[in-house]
Every structure is written in structure tokens, then in C-alpha cells.
A and B are shown apart, each in its own frame.
Chain A
Amino acid sequence: DTGVSQDPRHKITKRGQNVTFRCDPISEHNRLYWYRQTLGQGPEFLTYFQNEAQLEKSRLLSDRFSAERPKGSFSTLEIQRTEQGDSAMYLCASSLEASNQPQHFGDGTRLSIL
């Protein structure tokens, strides 16, 4: 069990650019989640996948945000035309499918918009 891995750890970009983050979940976990965390706040749910199916995406912050998990393993989160307000920590988590299972979090990708 190597844990949930996120890449990159830090991303600095100019406003208006597109960014993509990658998450590799724990290998036997078929559920994968994306969260956003701003300073002084708890994680805010964005979207989740069960295998390759995106089962909830209504909480994505705007149509500039999109996520994929094409083969049911790793996932990517893309933000198009970044804005200052997108600066935050983006966290990925994974879990088993059974109910009441805790989610295991990666160390996150910190995005800074200049």
C-alpha cells in the first residue's frame, strides 16, 4: 500500500492559463474523490468516481473545472482559464466501495495563481 499519490505538489501559474493535476489512488480502491481546501477551511467536495464513472459532478465549482478517470485507475483534474480565486490546495482521496469506508487522502497539490 503506497498510499494516494498526487502530482505535482506545487503549481504556480499565471492567471488565464490551464492547469492539470494528477492523482493515483490506492490500487485496490475503486472510488476516487477530489476536494478543494482553502486556508482555514475544511476540504470542500468537488466530484467523485466509481471506477471510470463520474457519479457526482454537480459540486464542481464552475464549468472551468473538469475531471477524468479514463481507465478507472488514475484521475486528472483540469482547471481552464485559471482565476485568482482558484488558488487553493486540491486534495485527492480514495476508498473502497463498501459503505462507511474512510477515505484516504494524498498530500495535495497546492495551486498558486499569480
Chain B
Amino acid sequence: GDSVTQMEGPVTLSEEAFLTINCTYTATGYPSLFWYVQYPGEGLQLLLKATKADDKGSNKGFEATYRKETTSFHLEKGSVQVSDSAVYFCALLRGGTGNQFYFGTGTSLTVIP
């Protein structure tokens, strides 16, 4: 079945460091891929998305490229800030009638000043 695998955390970085959070997926067909972010005590917020191979999603300095050949959607940011501390979830959407999401287990990021 469809699934998403994320690199395990927690990840701790110093401010202005480069961030990569790995995400790989297993799916039939051509899913859409998403990154969501969850701040403490809050629900999930959409960070970025890509709907087809080679698409690059970007938002707030974060980027991820849909790589069909490696079934990956790694999240990157060139210079993290303390305010980026949160849990990041990679998700797969296989369309059709269900619009059902499959989420990874999440990667906790802490950025220290």
C-alpha cells in the first residue's frame, strides 16, 4: 500500500544552518506530495506541495522537489531560524474519490540561537 518514510529525529541545528529532512514514498500511480508543519499545541499547516514529477514546491524559504526516479520529496532550507522549530510531516495524496492522505511519522526540528 501507499506509505511515506521520513528521516527520524529529533534534529537540532544552530541558527542559520542548512536543513535537510529526507522523505521517500511508496505509491501506485502519480500521487501529489506535501510538507506540513506543526507548531506546539497547534494543528498542521500546509507548508508546500508538488503535484507532479520534477515540480518544486517552495514557501517561506523551504523547498522540496518531487523526484519520481528516487521516489523522494526531501525538504530543504538554506538558513534556519529559531522560529522554524516545529515538527515537519511529509504526506502523500493519492487522488481519486478519497483524497486520502498518508503521513510520515514526523521529524522534530529544534533550532538553537
Contacts and interface: CB of A to CB of B under 8 A. Distances in A.
Interface of A: 4, 6, 31, 33, 40-45, 48, 55-56, 91, 93, 95, 97, 99-108
B42 A55 contact: no
Interface residues of B, number: 27
Contacts of B32: 100
Contacts of A95: 99
B46 A41 contact: no
Interface string B23-41: 0000000001010100001
Contact of A103 (B4, B99, B104, B106): B99
Given A100-B32, A108-B43, A55 B97 contact: yes
A101 B43 CA distance: 18
A80 B20 CA distance: 42
Contact of B43 (A33, A41, A48, A105): A105
B113 interface: no
B43 to A, nearest CB: 4
